[in-house]
Amino acid sequence: MGACLRAAAPGLHAAGALLVAELHIGPDVAAACIAFLASPDRLLLYLGGFDPAYATCSPGSLLLDALARRCLGEDRREIHFLRGREAYKYGWGAVDRHNATRSFVPA
């Protein structure tokens, strides 16, 4: 976890905006994910990974499935994979969306 996220995590957690999810196989953490609860209906998947020792079990997919089911139970409409065009995201039904930023500078 980067220094910025480490510094922000306590405040995000206190605000109910941080979700850290783990998938355990026996005593081991086989997959983990950091996500943000950005609004009542959106989950933003920020960072995830899995232990390669459990790759044949697809622990990342199992964890994403559990998070999707949790979102349905909480009436969340959307899960955002955020940046990147990794193939696994499209397997979950992701669609590309255009994002734009506008900056105003004093004259």
pLDDT in tens, the chain (107 residues): 689 988 999 999 999 899 999 999 999 999 999 999 988 888 999 999 999 999 999 999 999 999 989 988 888 888 888 888 888 888 888 888 887 778 888 87
Give domain status of residue 103, yes or no.
no
How far, in Å, are 3, 5, 33, 69, 84 from residue 78 at the CA level? 28, 23, 17, 12, 17
Domains held by the chain: number:
1
Q: What's the domain range around 45?
A: 10-91
Give domain status of residue 53, yes or no.
yes
Give domain status of residue 85, yes or no.
yes
How far, in Å, are 31, 32, 40, 73, 78 from residue 16 at the CA level? 22, 18, 11, 17, 18
The answer to whether the predicted template modeling score (pTM) of the entire model surpasses 0.75 is yes
Give domain status of residue 23, yes or no.
yes
